[in-house]
Structure 1
């Protein structure tokens, strides 16, 4: 099975949240629901403060805990590309996938009584196109594709975990991040925007 995933270049991201808005628009999400979220972190302290942004979504993990925790099979991996998908027709809204995901990705949609999440714009990917977050990024920080191809394209200085993220050993996330140096700072504060 092929494994698709996302690449994110933290060194280029300006925190504009265009990717977040494009995702929200495509998926027609209500206020309070985000499938892609940009978070801003302040690091260091005077006289050496810093800032960085992290754009995250479903990591389409190789070993997704959300799939493991789903009692109905509504959460599942697509054989063709490893995208973690869901079937709203068999979701019972039990929230086990939310509780099992260390990244807190699946979202409970109150008015529908079911879960929903990023599906990597599988409808666009099936047509050979990019997810909307990729094409909307004005700084070209985000890419999507076969993980091995992304590793070859972006080199060896990419990582799958940072101090602010859960250990990659838990789920083996299909995400590659080009980090900023201050993303390894032990002193950080998430800044509300």
Structure 2
């Protein structure tokens, strides 16, 4: 079994609830996010389309954060969750610099980096990741990637929307039910 996320962009309204509950659950300092919602537009008035994307760790099949960590602080759990042991982190930031998704974050005051662990502890006690539980529109799901693929099947994109880097290097465990406009390379980020 390998775990991953499913995001239904047709249900995501960009409310940032997933972002807020993740920040609260992980007690992250101001300005640091493990999950971040960004909103984009494509086209020009009067034919503008928009979408929101919830960025988080994709618990990749071949995570470069793990392969570039010189101390072994980042490892994969049996279910494929990419986890970091902060007690082994020396603060070199190799994971931060190497992740094409920008997911490990550096905490200057502690001198270490940290990352989403898919709420591993919550899941071990029968819960679900905070971001999934906090989404009011149920746009996010987490689970066995093969089961998610079977459940949602069909026209899923596996990490190839315009705002994401090519999935060929890391093979992210993210399934996306994308809006058609999310493939347009002429996107603009909307800053609130």
TM range (shorter): over 0.9
Q: Distance in 2 between matches of 1:77 and 1:86?
A: 9
**TM-score for the superposition, normalised by structure 2:** 0.97
- Conserved in 2, the CA contact under 8 Å of 1:8 and 1:176? yes
Alpha-carbon offset, residue 174 of structure 1: 0.4
Q: Distance in 2 between matches of 1:68 and 1:186?
A: 30
CA distance in structure 2 between the aligned counterparts of 1:159 and 1:90, rounded to whole angstroms: 35
Q: Segments of 4+ in structure 1 off by > 3 A?
A: none
What are the within-5 Å matches in structure 2 for residues 31-42 of structure 1? Answer: 31-42=30-41
SS at match of 2:87: coil
Separation of aligned partners in 2, 1:180 and 1:77: 31
Check if 1:24 corresponds to 2:23: yes
Are the aligned partners of 1:62 and 1:173 in contact in 2 as well (CA < 8 Å)? yes
Q: Could you say which residue in structure 2 is the equivalent of 1:174?
A: 173
**Partner Cα distance (2:154, 2:64) in 1:** 27
* 2:113 corresponding residue in structure 1: 115
Q: Which residue of 1 aligns with 2:73?
A: 74
**Gap regions ≥5 residues in structure 2:** none
Residues 5-24 of structure 1 aligned to structure 2 (within 5 Å): 5-24=4-23
In structure 1, stretches of 5+ residues that fail to align are none
Of the candidates 91, 94, 106, which is equivalent to residue 93 of structure 1?
91
- Note if 1:130 corresponds to 2:128: yes
Q: State whether structure 2 residue 175 is matched by structure 1 residue 183.
A: no
Please give the secondary structure, in 1, of the residue aligned with 2:57.
coil
1:147-167 CA distance string (max 9 Å, x none) = 000001111211122121110
Q: Distance in 2 between matches of 1:128 and 1:153?
A: 20
For 2:86, what is the secondary structure of its paired residue? coil
SS at match of 1:16: coil
User: What is the alpha-carbon root mean square deviation over aligned residues?
Assistant: 0.8
